[in-house]
């Protein structure tokens, strides 16, 4: 069962959809999130990357600052700046 993911910045929603896995760089290190992950709130590392794996594709976004929130409803990346890179 996929997880719902949204990557947003103050200016816009950068990407949203369903994913099989999310990997984000936090101030504590890389964090991998799979369906059923326990709820958490993490601080995104400055100049980090978020990778979203969905099907056979991988979507990457450069993010700078902000938070990752994992709930039962999904994963929210709330970044100060976010730009799709691939």
Parse the chain into domains and list their residue ranges. Answer: 1-31
Give the C-alpha distances (Å, rounded to integers) separating 86 from 16, 36, 51, 69: 14, 26, 9, 22
pLDDT at 74 (0 to 100)? 97
**Paired tokens of 15:** 């990407």
Which tens digit of pLDDT belongs to each residue from 20-68?
999 999 999 999 999 999 999 999 999 999 999 999 999 999 999 999 9
* pTM exceeding the 0.85 threshold for the entire prediction: yes
Residue 1 pLDDT more than 90?
no
């Amino acid at each position: 069962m996929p997880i719902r993911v949204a990557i947003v910045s103050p200016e816009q929603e950068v990407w949203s959809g369903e994913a099989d896995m999310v990997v984000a760089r936090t101030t504590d290190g890389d964090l991998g999130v799979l369906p059923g992950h326990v709820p958490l709130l993490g601080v995104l590392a400055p100049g980090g990357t978020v990778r979203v794996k969905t099907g056979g594709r991988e979507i990457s976004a450069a993010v700078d600052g902000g938070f990752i929130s994992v709930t039962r409803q999904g994963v929210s990346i709330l970044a100060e700046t976010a730009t799709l890179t691939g």
